[in-house]
Structure formats: C-alpha cells, structure tokens
Structure 1
Amino acid sequence: MEPLVFDGVGTVQVYETGGKLKFLDDKITKVTLQLQFDWQKVMGGDSGYAFHYTAQDLADKASIEIPRYSDILAELSQGAESEKGTVNFDETEQGFLDATNGYTLKAPAKFGGTLVATSDKVYLKDKDTGKLTELTRAAATPTAEQYVITADGKITSDSANDGKQIVVTFKWKKENATRSMLSGKRRPKPFKLVHRFSLVDDRDGKEVPCQLTIWKALGGGTLDVSQERKKPTSNTLSLEIMEPDITPENPNGYAVEIIFGI
C-alpha cells in the first residue's frame, strides 16, 4: 500500500473481556501508539561492534486523551466502582427572610431532588461583620432565635428577623443518580480497545478506513476531576498492553493489530 499520513482522530470503543461494549466516545483529542523494540548489546573481543543482540522486553506505549469525564472512564483508568441510585448532595445557600414568604431553598426544586429531613442548619449573617449566628430548629411558632422549615424547604422565623440575611447548609437527595467510588485497593480490569478512524490517501484524495486494535489492555494514567475557571480538564488514559488470550476472533494471539482499507 502507499504511505499514509496519520492525522485522524476518529472514535474509541472499549469492550469488556466477554465482548460487551463498555465505552464509546467520539470526542477524543488524541490517541497515541508508540511501538518500541530495544536490544541489549553483547560485546566481546576487541571490536567496537556487538557480536550478538539480546531482545529486551517490549516497551510499547499507548494512551488516549479525552477532554471530558465519565464514570466508565473512571472504571477503565482508575478501577473505580460505579452505581446508579439515590445520592445525597451537600448544599449551601444564602438569601433573605421575606416578611411574607420567608425563604425557600432552591436546589431541591432546581435539580428535581428532595430535601433530606433534619439535615438543615440556618444561620443569621451580620451584614457588617459577616458573623454567623446559628438559629435553632423549632416545630412551630419560632422565636427570634429559632426557625421553622417545611418538607419542601420553606424557612420562616420570628418577625424580628424579617429582611435579615441567612446562610443555610443542608443535604438534598436525588434518585437515579450516578456515583463513582474509588477504593484504596482499587485495580482496573483488562479490556479490548478499538480505535476506528479514517485517513486521506494523498495520491487520489480518497478516504481510507483504518482501525487500531489492542486486544488486551490495562488502564491507568490521570483522571482529572479538578476545576479551573475558563479551562476544561483533559483526562489521559494510559494503556499497558498485555499478552492476549487466543480466541476465534484473534486465533494467532496478536497483541496489537492495525488494518487499512486500501
């Protein structure tokens, strides 16, 4: 085949060892595969050249750069455990006590969640010093040192606190949410990676379908969940290439395969 210039990105597919599709992303920014073969020289006599070379362990390097987070990516790169279910969020809000309507918490309604009972704490905030004075929860008819909160998050207090600024800390819960859990004993599981992309044949300008397959890989690298203003994060999934099993799909037990539709 004619030489091709590698300048495509394409999509990445990750399959579990049983063949089930685990991860698919078409917004990757970089896929790297650097194949490396090294020798150890065996010297002897007076010559400056080696008379034998002993092959060293293969040092192939592969990585994927992805500019967004997913719980599946956390599983692949860090061995995280993911689950769907009900989760609690820790929230803080600031507002003012209206003489008629008090103050109603915004986060539960905004995100379709519900307030966790008895998780709330309310503080009066001094407008000059910023000092916080904690109020005590009451069942009904609060004094100036107390507040009442309903199940939907409406807070009221004594008329002496009308117009005053409050700080509220509370928990709210949401069903059918996603949780990524990372243990100190975590370890990623092996997977098969397929990088499907296309290149352009400079001879005739036609698109050439290409595919990189790493038959058995182990994840690692840096999963970046930090936040910085006006700067997106980028995650690097480093791959350790492993010796694969011999299967009907890979009868020769190749570790890496690159195919070109030309």
Structure 2
Amino acid sequence: MRLDKTVDGADEAVADIPQGASLAVGGFGLCGIPSVLIAALLRRNAGGFKVVSNNCGVDDWGLGLLLGAGRIARMTSSYVGENKEFARQYLSGELEVELVPQGTLAERLRAGGSGIPAFYTPAGAGTQIGQGGLPWRYGPHGQVAVASPPKETRAFAGREYLMEEAITTDYALVRATIGDRHGNLVFHSSARNFNPLAAMAGRVTIAEVEHLVEPGELGPDEVHLPGVFVQRVVRVPPDDPAAERRIERRCVRAEREGGAGHGAHS
C-alpha cells in the first residue's frame, strides 16, 4: 500500500464500489456525515447497497438521497425517526431493516475493526431482540417476510447476556475535519461519533477531510484514528455544495414582547 493515500476527487474515490456492496457510513443524524462521498456515490449507477449507519439521514440529505433514489437494499441502524421515505419503504417491503441498540451497533463496528468476531452484552436480553421475530422485511401484503433470528444467550454472574456478532463491510465512508496524506484523521467534537467505528469496520475506508495536511503536521496525541484503518483520502472542496453542514432540526424561540429575540438551534 502506498503511503500517500490521497485521490483527486470523490468520484475517483468511490469509482470501484460495486453493485450490492456493504457500506459502513459515519455520522450521527446529519453531524459528521460524509456528504461529499454520498453525493459522488449518488452520481454512479450502482445500487443495492447494504448500509450500516446510525441512521439514514433525512429525506433530502445524507443517506436519504441514496434511499430516495432506490440505491439502498438493506439498512442496519439504531434510529430512523427523521426519514419518512425510510418508513414508507420499510412498511411497503421495499427495504430490509435491522434495528440494533445504539451501543450494541457501535461495539459491533468496533469489534469488526479489532478482529473480535463476537461479544456478549446485556442490552436486549429478555426482549424480542434476543428472542427473535422482529420484522426485518415485510411482504407485499403486510406480512413479515424476513424476521430476525434468535440470538445465543449465556449467563454471567447470574445475569443473562446476548451474543452479538461483529460487523465488517466492504467499504466505509467517513468525514474528518483534518487528515494527512497517510490517512491519520482528526474529528471535530461530536462528529467523533460513529466515524472512527465505521472506519475501523470497512475493508476499504474512504475519508473525506476538510483540511488536508502533510505527514508529520499532526502530533501523535492529536490523531483520533490512525491511518492504518484508512485506504483513501479526499480533500473536500470548500465550494462543493455537497460539503454543506446542514442542521437536522432547527428550533427558534419566538421573540419576546418588548425585548430582543433569542434564537437557538440544534
């Protein structure tokens, strides 16, 4: 593997992602999502993707763009509440969905990147998550066509635990604030959510970075994810519309009578 992992652009970076590939995608809500790489993937004809991500964006941004174009066949997520098209496709049987507790999803990705095939967790023990039967895919008439299987259980110190298998994917798409040409990455604040975990799980990890620096400019203690987990680095053009940082839900407090308005967003 060459030390300089930079590629000329997002289109080149995703050019070899084939039909039906599995993808781990970083981000939480719309925070820290690899929107430039998602836009590049949307420009290709490939689809049928099996995506692992905390959520599926919103109807008009992030992974929601791929979903709306019919490019996603299966989602493994922990939260899907902001996407109406997601709900429509799932309930109509167009989309297979595996819902996973958020901490379990994070650990399954981390385990995959660490070479740990499975682990035990108390999350979901004694519920349908462990017992099986959750609808993964509906049939054309609303019947359950594919259901979750039961999970192996084991007791430790008198408490029941579920065995959860690690997740690895063909590719991973992540976004970092700073990256060097060797693939060492730094994430800003809460964008350091699922990005490092998704990057670890991908056999080929592609990182879009807002600021590209030379090797040696990042101190060892600054690096959040070492370059050993990253195969390709793309600098995000500052004028690329796909690089926009959107707010998932904006809340504004009404102006008070006789005083200045106070605004807030999240």
- Give the greater-gyration-radius structure (CA): 1
Judging by fraction of residues, say which structure has more helix. Answer: 2
Common fold: TM-score over 0.5? no
TM-score (norm 2): 0.19
Judging by fraction of residues, say which structure has more strand. Answer: 1
